[in-house]
Amino acid sequence: MARRFVAPLTESEQQTLIAAYHHGEKRALRRRAHAILLSDQGHTINQISGILQVRRDAVSRWLKQWEASRLDGLIDKPRSGRTPVLDEHDHQRLQELIAEQPHQIRSLQARLQEETGKTVSTVTLRRALKKKSP
């Protein structure tokens, strides 16, 4: 059975992958960078899948993505999802309302619905406030 490894990494590629592994924003990128570094060190796909606790086909896919697109191949592409209920203007108004009535999420919810016509759960409001906090 043929063993598959990435082509030897240049110093620049190693530094890029080490930076992604240590400081990557998302866990998935850090894991993929680690897999490429392990492959460069001579670990087999089976060994890497055991170390990272992922399926063998995932490691194989990461190696192919690295070979095709380098670091860009390891980064998750944007995905579609539900459009946000609150737009930027709503977020600004929410900040104004919270300044007027801090700690009153239900009255905040009612005023926002009255002003915008949008029905928003208290959970969504809390998340929006947490996300926009300084």
Q: Which of 63, 133, 57, 122 is nearest to 95 (CA)?
A: 133
Q: Where are the domains of the chain?
A: 11-74, 88-131
For residue 28, pLDDT over 80 is answered with: yes
108, 125 contact by CB (below 8 A):
yes
At 87-115, the pLDDT tens digits run 999 999 999 988 888 888 999 999 999 99
Instruction: Copy the structure tokens of residue 76.
Output: 């998750």
122, 104 contact by CB (below 8 A):
no
| pTM for the full predicted model | 0.65
